[in-house]
């Protein structure tokens, strides 16, 4: 099945990660989604984001234009709690 943009010139961004242990991929995704929504509200299809996010509150925060850093901060405490619980189940530490 051909791409929606097959045969068209598409601009993009190439990101090289040099310190993978310090990269917060979730926060990067929120920053990118927020920037695209703000810069290209007509072209960026937010309705497709919910499938990727799987989190309605994050989707709503991006759609309403909240600060991406604030959105990421909202999941810090639950994430830390999860990581603590997960620790005892890890085989390799």
Residue 93 has pLDDT above 70, yes or no: no
User: Across all residues in the chain, what is the average pLDDT?
Assistant: 88
pLDDT at 75: 82
pTM of structure: 0.71
How many residues does this entry show for the chain? 93
pLDDT at 49: 83
């Amino acid at each position: 099945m051909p791409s929606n943009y097959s045969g068209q010139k598409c601009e993009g961004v190439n990101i090289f990660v040099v310190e993978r242990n310090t990269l917060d991929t979730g926060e990067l995704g929120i920053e990118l989604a927020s920037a695209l929504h703000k810069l290209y509200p007509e072209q960026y299809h937010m309705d497709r984001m919910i499938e990727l996010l799987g989190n309605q509150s994050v989707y709503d925060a991006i759609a309403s234009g909240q600060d991406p850093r604030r959105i990421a901060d909202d999941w810090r405490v639950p994430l830390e709690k999860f990581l603590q619980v997960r620790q005892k189940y890890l085989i390799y530490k």
